[in-house]
C-alpha cells in the first residue's frame, strides 16, 4: 500500500462536473488500497477574480488582508471535493492550511513553509479517510493566514509529500506532462519522459508555469519523487529525476522557456567611474524591486549605458526611481521598454557541447530577430527580444535544436 499526494490545478477543478471527475479518479486510487492526500487549487480564474475585487477597492491593499481574501478560493474547492467524494462513498475530510498547521514565515503573499504538523493528516488517514488539503495557504505563528505566491499549490503538495514521506507526489494539470516548450505555443512540442531537477528549476524560474519553482526546489532538496500528469487522460506523464550520468549524454538543449513578465530600463550616458552600478541599483533595491538581468556597455567617451530588467509590475516604480538617479549622477536620460520578452534555452547537456550560443544567435538572426540583452549560466542561455517576436523566436529555436525529435 502506497501513500500518494495528488495535486489538482485550477482547470482540473474548474467546474462542479470536473470536481466530480477528480473525485472518481481519487476513489480509484483509494479502492486499489493507496492512502491519498489531495491538494487542490481554487477553481480556474477564481484567484484572479478575488484579486480584481481588491483592486476595485484599494490601490495598495494591506498584504495581510489580501491573504485572507485570496485564500478563500481554495477553501471552496476542498469542501466541494470532499462532498463529491462522500457522495460516491469515499470517506473524506477537508482541511485548510491552518487546520493541518502548515506553518509559514510572515511574508504575506510570498510566504515560505517552515514546518508541517502531519499528526492530524495521519489521524484522518488511519481512520480510512482521503485528506483534502487547501493548496497555496498556510498560517504564521500568530495564526495569520498567509499564501505562498501564485501557483503555490504545487509547493503545498510537494511539502506535504516531503513531510509525510509519501511514495510519490503527482501534479495533475491540463497538459499530460512537461513539454520541450509550452505546447500552447509550439504545436510540435514534445512531452518528455524525464527531466532533471536542475533543468526543471531553470525552466520554472525562466517562465515555464507548469510547476512553481519553489515546488521543484523543495522536491529536489527532500528527494520527493515528483510527476506531472494530465487530469483528463491516463498516461505516464513526466518524472522529475535527479541528475544522472545518462542525462549528461543527452542533447545540448532539452527545453525552451519564455517569460513576458519583465520590463527593461536603461540609464543612457552615465559617467564611467567606480561605484556607478551600485549607485544605480541601490535605490532600486531599497524600493524592494528585484532586478533580473544586468548589462553594462562602456563607450569610448568614458560614458556607459547601464541596462537592467525588472518585473513588469514594478516597471513604473523603477522608472520613477531611475529618473531621480539620472539627475543625481548627471546621466543623459532614463529610458524604458515594457514590450520585451525573455526567451531561454535550457539543458544540462550544454555543459559538454560547444557552439550552443552561436547556434541560438544564428537561428534568431536568420529570422531577423534582434537580440537586446544576453545572459548565460552553465545550463541556460537567455535573450531579451521585442515581445512581438516571442512566439516566432520560440518556434524557431525549437526547430533549430530539433526538439520535436527524441535524442
Ligand atoms: P494548474 O492550474 O494545473 O496549476 P498551470 O496553468 O499552472 O496549471 O500550468 C499548466 C500550464 O503550463 C499548461 O497549460 C501550459 O500551457 C503551461 N506550460 C508552460 N510551459 C510548459 C511546458 N514546458 N510543459 C508543459 N506545460 C507548460
Ligand atoms: N490559486 C492560486 C493561484 O491561482 C494557487 C494555485 O493555483 O496554485 O495562483
Ligand atoms: Mg499552476
In this predicted model, what pLDDT tens digit does every residue of 9-57 receive, in sequence order? 999 999 999 999 999 999 999 999 999 999 999 999 999 999 999 999 9
Contact 157, 215 (CB under 8 A): yes
User: What angle, rounded to 10 degrees, do the helices at 46-57 and 72-87 form?
Assistant: 150
364 burial type by CB count under 10 A (0-12 exposed, 13-18 middle, 19+ buried)? buried
User: Closest-lying ligand to the alpha carbon of 136?
Assistant: 2
The alpha carbon of 286 and the centre of ligand 2 are apart by a number of angstroms equal to: 29
User: Closest-lying ligand to the alpha carbon of 155?
Assistant: 2
- Atom of ligand 1 minimally distant from the CA of 173: 3
pLDDT along the chain (407 residues), means of 10: 96 98 97 97 98 95 97 98 98 98 96 97 98 98 97 98 97 97 97 94 95 95 96 96 63 94 95 91 93 86 91 94 94 95 94 90 97 94 97 98 90
Residue 242 has a pLDDT of 84
Domain count for the chain, please give it: 1
Considering the domain boundaries, does residue 49 fall inside one?
A: yes
Considering the domain boundaries, does residue 143 fall inside one?
A: yes
Residue 357 has a pLDDT of 95
Residue 352 has a pLDDT of 82
- Atom of ligand 1 minimally distant from the CA of 153: 4
CB 14 less than 6 A from any atom of ligand 2: no
Q: Whose CA is nearest to atom 4 of ligand 2?
A: 47
User: Closest-lying ligand to the alpha carbon of 41?
Assistant: 2
Residue 248 has a pLDDT of 47
- Atom of ligand 2 minimally distant from the CA of 153: 8
CB 151 less than 6 A from any atom of ligand 2: yes
Considering the domain boundaries, does residue 218 fall inside one?
A: no
Tell me, what CATH number does 113's domain have?
A: 3.40.1160.10
Considering the domain boundaries, does residue 306 fall inside one?
A: no
**The overall pTM is greater than 0.85:** yes
Q: What domain range is 25 assigned to?
A: 3-174
CB 147 less than 6 A from any atom of ligand 2: no
Q: Which residues fall within 8 angstroms of residue 309, CB to CB, at 6 or more apart? A: 262, 263, 264, 265, 291, 292, 293, 340, 342, 373, 384
Considering the domain boundaries, does residue 74 fall inside one?
A: yes
Amino acid at each position: 500500500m502506497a501513500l500518494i499526494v495528488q495535486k489538482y490545478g485550477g482547470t482540473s477543478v474548474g467546474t462542479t462536473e470536473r470536481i466530480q471527475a477528480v473525485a472518481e479518479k481519487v476513489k480509484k486510487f483509494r479502492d486499489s488500497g493507496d492512502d491519498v492526500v489531495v491538494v487542490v487549487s481554487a477553481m480556474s480564474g477564481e484567484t484572479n477574480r478575488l484579486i480584481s475585487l481588491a483592486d476595485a477597492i484599494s490601490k495598495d491593499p494591506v498584504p495581510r488582508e489580501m491573504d485572507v481574501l485570496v485564500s478563500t478560493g481554495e477553501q471552496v474547492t476542498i469542501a466541494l471535493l470532499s462532498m463529491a467524494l462522500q457522495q460516491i462513498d469515499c470517506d473524506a475530510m477537508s482541511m485548510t492550511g491552518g487546520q493541518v498547521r502548515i506553518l509559514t514565515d510572515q511574508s504575506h503573499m510570498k510566504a515560505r513553509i517552515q514546518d508541517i504538523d502531519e499528526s492530524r493528516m495521519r489521524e484522518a488517514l488511519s481512520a480510512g479517510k482521503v485528506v483534502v488539503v487547501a493548496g497555496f495557504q498556510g498560517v504564521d505563528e500568530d495564526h495569520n493566514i498567509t499564501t505562498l505566491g501564485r501557483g503555490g499549490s504545487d509547493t503545498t503538495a510537494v511539502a506535504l509529500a516531503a513531510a509525510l514521506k509519501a511514495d510519490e507526489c503527482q501534479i495533475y494539470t491540463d497538459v499530460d506532462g512537461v513539454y520541450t516548450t509550452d505546447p500552447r505555443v509550439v504545436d510540435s512540442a514534445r512531452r518528455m519522459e524525464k527531466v532533471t531537477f536542475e533543468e526543471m528549476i531553470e525552466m520554472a524560474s525562466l517562465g515555464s508555469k507548469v510547476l512553481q519553482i519553489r515546488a521543484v526546489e523543495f522536491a529536489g532538496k527532500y528527494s520527493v519523487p515528483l510527476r506531472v500528469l494530465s487530469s483528463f487522460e491516463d498516461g505516464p506523464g513526466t518524472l522529475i529525476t535527479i541528475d544522472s550520468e545518462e542525462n549528461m549524454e543527452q542533447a545540448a538543449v532539452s527545453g525552451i522557456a519564455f517569460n513576458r513578465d519583465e520590463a527593461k530600463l536603461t540609464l543612457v550616458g552615465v559617467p564611467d567611474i567606480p561605484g556607478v552600478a551600485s549607485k544605480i541599483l541601490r535605490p532600486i533595491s531599497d524600493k524592494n524591486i528585484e532586478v533580473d538581468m544586468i548589462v553594462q556597455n562602456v563607450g569610448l567617451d568614458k560614458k556607459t549605458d547601464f541596462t537592467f530588467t525588472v518585473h513588469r509590475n514594478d516597471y513604473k516604480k523603477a522608472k520613477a526611481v531611475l529618473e531621480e538617479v539620472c539627475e543625481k549622477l548627471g546621466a543623459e536620460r532614463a529610458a524604458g521598454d515594457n514590450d520585451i520578452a525573455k526567451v531561454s534555452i535550457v539543458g544540462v547537456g550544454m555543459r559538454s557541447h560547444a557552439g550552443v550560443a552561436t547556434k541560438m544567435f544564428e537561428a534568431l538572426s536568420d529570422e531577423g530577430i534582434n537580440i537586446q540583452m544576453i545572459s548565460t549560466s552553465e545550463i541556460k542561455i537567455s535573450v531579451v527580444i521585442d515581445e512581438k517576436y516571442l512566439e516566432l523566436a520560440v518556434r524557431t529555436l525549437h526547430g533549430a535544436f530539433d526538439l520535436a525529435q527524441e535524442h
